[in-house]
Amino acid sequence: MPAKEQLVQSVWTRPRPVRREQPALSRGQIVAEAISLLDAEGIEALSMRRLGARLNAGATSLYSHVANKDELIELVVDEVYGEMEVPDAAEEGWRSAAARSAHSLRATILRHPWLVSVLGRAGFSSLGPNMMRNTDRMLAVFEAGGCDLEEADRAMKALLAYVVGIGTSEAAWMTALSRSGQSQEEWARSLWPAVERAAQPYPRLRAWCAVRRDADPADNSSADIFGYGLDRLLNGLEG
């Protein structure tokens, strides 16, 4: 009987080939270099050819580990998610553990702003070992708060949606700021006249601009905004 066709095309479902000799490059080296390239230059710079050049290796060496660029993205996404910390709720309580998980994921996104741009094309990255481990630990966090497994799953997804949603906006700002070559304060000041002009037809936005005109850009920071929303989300889940 012929072998069943692989239904899920993913690096995590394709058996890793057995090699009789040590390959010139390891999967870990390829993933680490890909993340370094992504952090430095963004998703637009990532290609198998460019990565091979950075590793002084031909395409054959790369394709012996990954079938295509999509599989490479699955690997780098899972590797980066391994940086996320999910504390043990039994040690510090579910709410503190959930909040620390959220802050840790946000910090991971800000260290790797390209991450949010590839989540929609990361295939089955949720099958990766780091993603699976963190998912299991986060379910345990909400179970510690009194949820059954189904409710814990919904609570976890609500929290992740909030963090990724905020993180997407912050990552876009950071990318644009980096390309501007200015400090955050310099860039905010240079944009302000355009913001005020655009707000003129809208009374509430016009009033907001008047209040914020002379404010320190560090006030009402993105971290404060993130914490504000996170507290209210956790209040709702606790209720």
Total residue count of the chain as it appears in this document: 239
Q: In the prediction, which pLDDT does 23 show?
A: 58
Look at the block and give the residue holding tokens 């479902």: 13
**Coil vs helix vs strand at 10:** coil
> pLDDT, tens digit, for every residue of 4-20?
555 567 877 777 665 65
Q: In the prediction, which pLDDT does 2 show?
A: 46
What global pTM score does this model have?
Answer: 0.84
Q: Are 89 and 141 in contact (CB under 8 A)?
A: yes
For the chain, list residues with pLDDT below 50.
1-3
